[in-house]
């Protein structure tokens, strides 16, 4: 069941989302070669708690960190640890902040120093996939139009769309209905109502879309070991378009 938000709820969501937005920018300013993924997580923890918010990921189904830090072949849910970031890596940082009863959620993929042309293109196209996904999106749009557009753009660029993870609704819970796949058939799915708040998060792979989860139960890597990228924003559906809350 999709829980459509009131304007009052949306103004609270905006505060959580502003923290996510600012935290992602802060990480972007500080992330660099030589840092461990754990150090990236510490930046996130300090930033979010410093804004009197709670990192929603910490303890979520036992998740042991404040952010997901996913390097190269890691698609999503990379657990921060001892891995040292190197020049040429692409690193997705995904984080959620909880404040006043509402969650905000966003992710960016950062390039560490100079990266290969293929990785650079993958990061760019993944970000473009998000913007393709929201193109023309407004009240009344069928849900799977989003995924249709994301998939068209990814595949037109020779990349593939991860199937086993999706975007989602958000609000008082970090994951609410609906599930927002990054693939789909145009003109299908529920028609989105104004006031619906969703996270649109293309996860795009340079090779095949198959993933495997490591023994830690979280870390999702591409089955073929090729790179993947991730880009996410929380958006509100409006009568005449969308409002992006984490940008």
Residues that bind ligand MF3 (CB under 6 A): 57, 60, 63, 68, 77, 94, 96, 105, 199, 201, 232
Do 33 and 109 meet the contact criterion of CB atoms below 8 Å apart? no
Q: Which is nearer to Co ion, 35 or 162 (CB)?
A: 162
Which listed option, Co ion, ligand MF3, none, makes contact with residue 9 (CB within 5 to 8 Å by class)? none
Radius of gyration of the chain (CA): 17
Q: Which two tokens stand for residue 69?
A: 């830090």
DSSP 8-state assignment for residue 156? H
- The whole-angstrom separation of Cα 180 and Cα 34 is 35
Secondary structure (3-state) at 124: helix
Q: Which is nearer to ligand MF3, 12 or 107 (CB)?
A: 107
Contact 129, 195 (CB under 8 A): no
* Nearer to ligand MF3 among residue 78 and residue 184 (C-beta): 78
Rounded to whole angstroms, how far apart are CA atoms 71 and 90? 6
Give min distance, CB of 34 to Co ion, in A: 29
- Please report how close the Cβ of residue 167 comes to ligand MF3 at its closest, in angstroms: 7
89 or 201: whose CB is closer to ligand MF3?
A: 201
Cβ neighbours for 50, distance < 8 A, ≥ 6 positions apart: none
Binder of residue 96, out of ligand MF3, Co ion, none (CB less than 5 to 8 A by kind): ligand MF3
The enclosing H or E element of 232 equals: none
Q: Which residues bind Co ion (CB under 5 A)?
A: 105, 199
CB of 170 to Co ion, least distance (A): 7
Binds 68, which of ligand MF3, Co ion, none (CB < 5 to 8 A, cut-off by type)?
Answer: ligand MF3
């Amino acid at each position: 069941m999709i829980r459509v938000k009131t304007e009052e709820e949306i103004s609270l969501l905006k505060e959580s989302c502003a923290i996510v937005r600012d935290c992602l920018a802060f990480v972007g300013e500080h992330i660099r070669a030589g840092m461990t993924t754990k150090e990236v997580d510490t930046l996130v923890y300090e930033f979010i708690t410093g804004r009197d918010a709670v990192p929603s990921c910490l303890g979520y189904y036992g998740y042991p960190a404040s952010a997901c830090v996913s390097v190269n072949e890691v698609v999503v849910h990379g657990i921060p640890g001892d891995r040292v970031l190197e020049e040429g890596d692409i690193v997705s940082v995904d984080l959620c902040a909880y404040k006043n009863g509402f969650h905000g959620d966003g992710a960016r993929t950062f390039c560490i120093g100079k990266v290969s042309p293929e990785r650079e293109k993958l990061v760019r196209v993944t970000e473009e996939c998000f913007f393709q996904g929201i193109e023309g999106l407004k009240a009344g749009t069928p849900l799977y139009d989003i995924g249709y557009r994301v998939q068209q753009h990814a595949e037109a660029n020779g990349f593939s769309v991860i199937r086993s993870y999706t975007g989602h609704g958000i609000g008082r819970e970090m994951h609410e209905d609906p599930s927002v796949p990054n693939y789909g058939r145009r003109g299908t799915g529920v028609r989105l109502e104004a006031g619906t708040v969703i996270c649109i998060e293309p996860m795009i792979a340079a090779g095949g879309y198959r993933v495997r989860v490591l023994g830690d139960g979280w870390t999702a890597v591409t089955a073929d070991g090729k790179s993947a990228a991730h880009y996410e924003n929380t958006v509100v559906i409006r009568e005449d378009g969308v409002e992006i809350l984490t940008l």
